[in-house]
Structure 1
Amino acid sequence: MTLNLPSPQLQISIREEWNENLETRDQYLEHIKDWLRRQPHLPDDWGDVELLNFLRSCYFSLERTKQKIDRYFTVRAAIPEFYRDWDIKRPELVAITSVGQACAMPKLTPEGRRVMILRGFDKNMETPNVTHFIRIAFMFADIRIKEESHGVSGDVYIFDASILTAGHFAKAANPVIFKKFLFCLKAYPIKVKEIHVVNANSMVDIVINWIMLLVKEKYRKLVHVHTSIETLHDYIPKDVLPEEYGGTCGSSKNFTEQWIKKLEAHTDWFKKRENFKADESKRLGLPIDYDDLFGVDGSFKKLAID
């Protein structure tokens, strides 16, 4: 599965959006590399592509980039249940991939955004374990950090609600896990630009209202609910969408199969990265106490999600 890179013209607009100056970019990159080498509690063997994506997501603010990188490594250590056993062939992860499709579309939107799709198959399926689902989501994210070599303008998410039931929601609606997920997501060089819920049913309003209680207003404005596929085309061109959503870019089934193969091919890479996390015993100054950071009940007493 290959992610199409932005055209030369689109690369220019993406650089402008993220405040990326080709004349000074290498200086910023070297500054971050030097800073990482001086942080004994953080790994320092990242490549240029990964570091540049963190710089872009912080509009090339050095201090914000340092904070995000530190946060990325810290959450990997603080919330190990999301970052362990990254092997897509493990039974608990196969149980997720066998009941749905998830893929990043190869083609970018005209604005340079990457479209991500998530859809299930069967209303009668067992509710997936949310923690296992989050593990797969971050496996996708880590691969994209190293493969979006020219960056993107942001992400567009399409969630298919056609099989959503009250039973699924009742079992999956864990506010502590969801808050931890949002906390980790903030550590990634990802900019969510749009969220589209398609094939909406009567449960969608309940789910969205529950989620909106946990996120800030700026995220609420990104959500668009569609009762038909046609209105989705007002936002995303058909040549970027798969056939399942009236598009001409191929099948999400095929793209999902390709992504599963990509995840399988990265099994050894994921294994080597299990220790790719902060070591608080080596942090300069006071180490972070994870119970103090999140609260013993996961309620994030000291840090707000923003």
Structure 2
Amino acid sequence: MENSTVEFNIRVGYTSEDAKRLAETELRETPEIKEAAIKELRALLHASPELNFKDDDDFLLVFLRACHFYPQSALKKMKSVAAFRKNYANQVRGILIENLKDKFIQGNVINVLKNLDQHGRRVIILHSGAVWDPSFISADESFQLLYATHLMALLEPETQIRGVVCILDFEGLSFKQVKSLTPPCLIRVLTFIQDAFPIRLKEVHIMKQPYIFNVVWSLAKPLIQEKLRNRIIFHGNDMKSLQKYIEPDYLPRDYGGYLPTIDYGGLEWYSAVEIHRDYVREWSELGPAKW
């Protein structure tokens, strides 16, 4: 399978010419800046004994692209990631893809469109409504699935450059799900997204939320920083509103688009994820030098 293949494939080592131009325009990624930034970030990392991260070029580029090639900012992001991982070690340390297999395949809590949007971005769908059965997938396990998914995104240079879009689908949300979305759970997710998510999160689309969603939002809103708040868009059942951001040619019928209704999920994606189980195992021990 070619690395450029989008459908059910993690594109390792693939960067299109268009993405390279975008990286130069939006991220300052020129050969000269790139070389100098990698060298400086590597030196900063070596001078930070409290951190345990790889220092190869590809790994450092993840953080540099997330921070527009400013090494000091990239180091700060590394420290935030390490702090989060230490604080939530019971969730992320030792995480293994094979241990999440049944939840990933059968739970359908997290899905990724098999196509990109019109800007070449990955679109991640998080089902937090009726599709999510907390008796089968706990809030902790749901977070682990999200964490593993973000590690897959880190493997794609195209995604590092273009960023990701998230659709939070709350269709059928009921008290069964709401009572699992406790304040500690929301704090963990929002801390992760705001402080320990080294990917460019371009948009968050809240979809199909019923009235009871206001309970969740009232708890989450005070915790959301302005940068993230400005990227959250509420649509309800207004698919035309969503299509202002993602064109219908790139959306499935589930969201008012012209593509077929989604009939795939973790079962189809798992083989692509499983290939990188050693990478996830390695990541499970990275972050703080001392846990």
Aligned to 1:230: 240
Aligned to 1:65: 74
The 3 A distance-change label for structure 1 pair 101 and 15 is farther
8 Å CA contact 2:19–2:161 kept in 1: the answer is no
1:258 to 258, 268, 273: 268
Gaps of 5+ in 2: 1-7
1:267 is matched by which residue type in structure 2? Answer: R
Task: State the distance in 2 between where 1:149 and 1:10 align.
Answer: 6
Aligned to 1:31: 40
Structure 1 residues 161-190: Cα deviation after superposition (integer angstroms, max 9, x where no partner): 112112311222x22232233333312212
Aligned to 1:114: 122
The 3 A distance-change label for structure 1 pair 206 and 96 is farther
1:267 to 266, 277, 285: 277
1:137 to 146, 159, 164: 146
2:133 matched to 1:125? yes
The 3 A distance-change label for structure 1 pair 97 and 256 is closer
The 3 A distance-change label for structure 1 pair 95 and 255 is closer
Task: State the distance in 2 between where 1:6 and 1:124 align.
Answer: 35
2:172 to 163, 168, 171: 163
TM-score by length of 2: 0.81
Task: State the distance in 1 between where 2:155 and 2:199 align.
Answer: 13
TM-score by length of 1: 0.78
Task: State the distance in 1 between where 2:158 and 2:104 align.
Answer: 29
2:185 matched to 1:177? yes
The 3 A distance-change label for structure 1 pair 95 and 254 is closer
Partner-residue secondary structure (3-state), 1:152 = helix
2:222 matched to 1:213? yes
Cα-Cα RMSD: 2.9
Task: State the distance in 2 between where 1:19 and 1:168 align.
Answer: 43
Residues matched between the structures, number: 279
Task: State the distance in 2 between where 1:72 and 1:56 align.
Answer: 15
Task: State the distance in 1 between where 2:204 and 2:132 align.
Answer: 25
8 Å CA contact 1:154–1:192 kept in 2: the answer is yes
Shift of 1:201: 1.6
Task: State the distance in 2 between where 1:111 and 1:59 align.
Answer: 19
8 Å CA contact 2:123–2:166 kept in 1: the answer is yes
Shift >6 Å, 4+ stretches: none
8 Å CA contact 1:99–1:122 kept in 2: the answer is no
Shift of 1:96: 6.1
2:234 is matched by which residue type in structure 1? Answer: V
The 3 A distance-change label for structure 1 pair 278 and 123 is closer
The 3 A distance-change label for structure 1 pair 96 and 10 is closer
Structure 1 residues 61-118: Cα deviation after superposition (integer angstroms, max 9, x where no partner): 1111111112223322332122134234437x63465232423335443344332112
Task: State the distance in 1 between where 2:25 and 2:132 align.
Answer: 47
